[in-house]
Amino acid sequence: MKRILVVDDEVGALTLIGIMLDRGGFEVLKAQNAKQALSMLESETPDLIILDIMMPGMDGIELCKVIRSMPRHAETPILILSTRSDSDSVIRGMEAGATSYLPKPILHHDLVSKVRSMLNLSAIER
């Protein structure tokens, strides 16, 4: 089972994304801020990381840069999932090292399909 780390400061969004991914057949790790995420990444090696941009303290763009600087996670696919969908935010996210970018709100099948494609999983593989 592929493991996904979801980082979002909004508990409701974190829960909803977690449910979507769980139903999609993924194991979900959750962090509510960059500090928690970085602490988890010291011992965990997720197959993919989903980041929100707007978080207190270190935002998702900075967190993405930090993750990319970590040799152990430098190649881990990173999906930015954010309410900020303007071109400047998308460009900043991609320049920070994100693999892909999706706007919120997101539908269950869109999220699961995107995660599967980023992990090169077929629709039947779990």
CATH code where residue 14 lies: 3.40.50.2300
Domains identified in the chain, total number: 1
Domain span at 85: 3-118
Residue 7 in domain: yes
Residue 105 in domain: yes
What pLDDT is attached to residue 125?
A: 43
Phi first, then psi: give them for residue 67, nearest 5 degrees: -60, -45
Residue 48 in domain: yes
What pLDDT is attached to residue 121?
A: 73
Residue 124 in domain: no
What are 24-83's pLDDT values in tens digits? 999 999 999 999 999 999 999 999 999 999 999 999 999 999 999 999 999 999 999 999
Residue 90 in domain: yes
Q: Is the dihedral of CA 73, 12, 19, 99 positive or negative?
A: negative
Residue 49 in domain: yes
Query: Do residues 2 and 22 lie in contact, with contact meaning Cβ atoms separated by under 8 Å?
Result: no
What's this model's pTM, rounded to 2 decimal places? 0.93
Residue 78 in domain: yes
Residue 40 in domain: yes
Tokens at 115, concatenated: 């995660």
CA distance 25 to 112: 9
